[in-house]
Chains A and B, each alone.
Chain A
Amino acid sequence: MTHVILLAAVGFVGGAFGSMVGLGGGLFIIPGLTLFLGVPIHNAIAASLVAVVATSTTGSIAYVRQALANVRLGVTMETALTLGALSGGLVGAMLGKEVLSAVFGGVMVAVSVYMGLRRKAAPPSLADGAGLGRLGATYFDRNLDCEVRYQVKRLPLGLFAGLVAGNVSGLLGVGGGFLTVPTMRLGMGVPMRAAVSTSSLMLGVTACAGAVVYFARGMVDPVVAVPVVLGVTVGAYLGSRLALKVRSSVLVSVLAVVLFALSIQMILAAVGISLR
C-alpha cells in the first residue's frame, strides 16, 4: 500500500511541476520511479507516457476552452511529432536499460541547462492590419489585458523540431514540451502563452503514439501506471492553478537545479554508481 501511495506521489509531483512549466511531467516521473522506487526503466517509460497523456488532457481542457491553444498549428505539428514518437517507441522498446538511462540523463542535463538560462521575453507584436496567415491566431492575454495577434513563421523548423521531440518522447517517455515550447517561442514567433498551451495540447497525441506501442506489447504495468496516472491528474489540475500564484522565474530556477541533480544521478546509475 505504501508503494502505491509513493507511486501516486511521484505522479502528483510530476503533474504539478510539469503543468506549471508547460512540460508533460515525464522528466520528473521517470527519475522518481527508477531512482527512488526501483521501477524498471521500460515500465517507468511506459507509465510516464500514459501519465503525459493525462497531464496533457487535464491542462488542455482549459487551454482549448480559453482559446489559448492554436489547434491548427497543433494538428500540423502533430504529424511530425507522432511520426517521431512512433519511431522512438519502437527503438526504445528494444534498447537496454543502461543505454536508456544514460540517454535520458543526457537529455535532462540539456533541459536543466536550458531552463536555467532561459529568460522571459516580451511577446512578438503584430500590426493590426497584418494578416495572420494560414496558421496564425489571436487570443486574449489576461495578464497583459490585451488581445495578442501573431503569425506562425518557419513551419519547416517546427516540423523538424517536432520530429526530434516526438522521437525523444517515444524513446524516453517524456512529453517533448521542453523542445517544442522553445522552438515555437524562439523560432516560430508564437507567444509564450500560446506556445505552452499548444504544446500541452500536442503532447497528448505525441505520448499516445508512443504509449500505444508499449501498451500493445503489454509493457504498461497497471500496478505502476494507475497510481501514477491518478496522481498526475490531481497534480496537473492543482499545478495549473498554483502556477498563477508562483513567480515563474523562481519556479524555473528551482526546477533547473532539481532536474540537473536528478540527471547526474541517472547518468551515474546507468554506469552502476548509486548515490543512495
Chain B
Amino acid sequence: MKVAPRNAATCSDPDPRLAAALSRLLLSGLSLAIALLLVGVILTVARPGGPVSHVSSITGLPRALGAFEPGGFFDLGLLVLLATPAARVVALLLAFTRRRLWLFSAVSVMVLLVLALSAFLGLRGG
C-alpha cells in the first residue's frame, strides 16, 4: 500500500524523518538476517551430510563463521533478527532524548532493560 508523501507529514510522530529512519532500520536488520540465513542454507546444501546444530556459545561464532559452518550463519542470522526490534527501541531512545522527551526516553530504557534481563536470565538458566 502506498501513501502519498504529504500524508507522511501527518504521522503519529511529529518527525516524518524518524518514521523513515525507523523503517529503514527494520528493513536493514531483516535483510541482513535473511541474507545470513540464506548463506547458511546454501552451505548446508553444498555440504550435505553433517547435522546442523547450534554453535555452543557466542564466543564460538567467529570460529564457526570462519570455518563456513552453516550453524554459525544460522545462529548469527537469528541473532541479527532478534536484535532488530531491540535496535528499533535504541533508535527511539536516541530520538526521544534528542527532543528532550524524557518520559518516553525513560520508557525506552525500561524496555531495553527488560530485554537485557531476558538475555541474562536465559543464559544463566542455560
The answer to whether A216 and B78 touch across the interface, beta carbons within 8 angstroms, is: no
The answer to whether B22 and A64 touch across the interface, beta carbons within 8 angstroms, is: yes
Contacts of A57 in B (CB 8 A): 26, 29-30, 81, 84-85
* Minimal Cβ-Cβ distance residue in A for B3: A66
The answer to whether B7 and A208 touch across the interface, beta carbons within 8 angstroms, is: no
The answer to whether B125 and A90 touch across the interface, beta carbons within 8 angstroms, is: yes
The answer to whether A86 and B117 touch across the interface, beta carbons within 8 angstroms, is: yes
Given A138-B12, A222-B54, the answer on whether A61 and B92 have CB atoms closer than 8 Å is no
Contacts of B8 in A (CB 8 A): 65-67
The answer to whether A222 and B23 touch across the interface, beta carbons within 8 angstroms, is: no
* Minimal Cβ-Cβ distance residue in B for A60: B26
Docked pose: A167 CA to B116 CA in angstroms: 17
Docked pose: A102 CA to B104 CA in angstroms: 39
The answer to whether B11 and A67 touch across the interface, beta carbons within 8 angstroms, is: yes
Nearest-neighbour CB distance to chain A for B119, whole angstroms, equals 5
* A 51-71 contacts with B by CB, 8 A: 53-54, 56-58, 60-62, 64-71
Segment touching B, from A12-20, A118-126, A139-147: A139-147
Docked pose: A70 CA to B14 CA in angstroms: 11
Q: How many residues of A contact B (CB 8 A)?
A: 62
Docked pose: A85 CA to B121 CA in angstroms: 13
* A 130-174 contacts with B by CB, 8 A: 134, 137-140, 142, 147
Report which residue of B54, B71, B77, B88 has the largest number of chain A beta carbons within 10 angstroms of its beta carbon: B88
Chain B contact patch, size range? 35 or more
Nearest-neighbour CB distance to chain B for A201, whole angstroms, equals 8
The answer to whether A67 and B85 touch across the interface, beta carbons within 8 angstroms, is: no
Nearest-neighbour CB distance to chain B for A72, whole angstroms, equals 6
Interface SS, A side: helix
The answer to whether A53 and B82 touch across the interface, beta carbons within 8 angstroms, is: yes
Residue B10 at the A interface, CB < 8 A? yes
The answer to whether A208 and B86 touch across the interface, beta carbons within 8 angstroms, is: yes
Report which residue of B75, B85, B115, B121 has the largest number of chain A beta carbons within 10 angstroms of its beta carbon: B85
With beta carbons under 8 angstroms apart, the residue of B71, B86, B118 that contacts A86 is B118
Given A58-B30, A218-B54, the answer on whether A66 and B1 have CB atoms closer than 8 Å is yes
Docked pose: A244 CA to B40 CA in angstroms: 34
Residue A183 at the B interface, CB < 8 A? no
Contacts of B18 in A (CB 8 A): 71
Docked pose: A230 CA to B41 CA in angstroms: 10
Nearest-neighbour CB distance to chain A for B126, whole angstroms, equals 4
Contacts of A73 in B (CB 8 A): 12
The answer to whether B13 and A72 touch across the interface, beta carbons within 8 angstroms, is: yes
* Minimal Cβ-Cβ distance residue in A for B34: A233
Nearest-neighbour CB distance to chain A for B89, whole angstroms, equals 6
The answer to whether B117 and A208 touch across the interface, beta carbons within 8 angstroms, is: no
With beta carbons under 8 angstroms apart, the residue of B12, B22, B40, B71 that contacts A72 is B12
The answer to whether A82 and B78 touch across the interface, beta carbons within 8 angstroms, is: no
* A 68-103 contacts with B by CB, 8 A: 68-73, 75-76, 78-79, 82-83, 85-86, 89-90, 93
What would 5 more interface pairs be, CB under 8 Å, given A57-B26, A73-B12, A220-B78?
Answer: A53-B82, A71-B22, A90-B121, A214-B122, A222-B53
Q: Which 3 A-B pairs have the closest CB atoms?
A: A67-B11, A216-B122, A137-B12
List 24 interface pairs A-B (beta carbons < 8 Å), by A numbering.
A54-B30, A57-B30, A60-B23, A61-B27, A64-B23, A64-B26, A71-B12, A72-B104, A75-B104, A75-B111, A79-B114, A82-B115, A89-B122, A137-B12, A194-B12, A204-B88, A208-B82, A210-B118, A212-B119, A216-B119, A216-B122, A217-B125, A226-B41, A233-B30
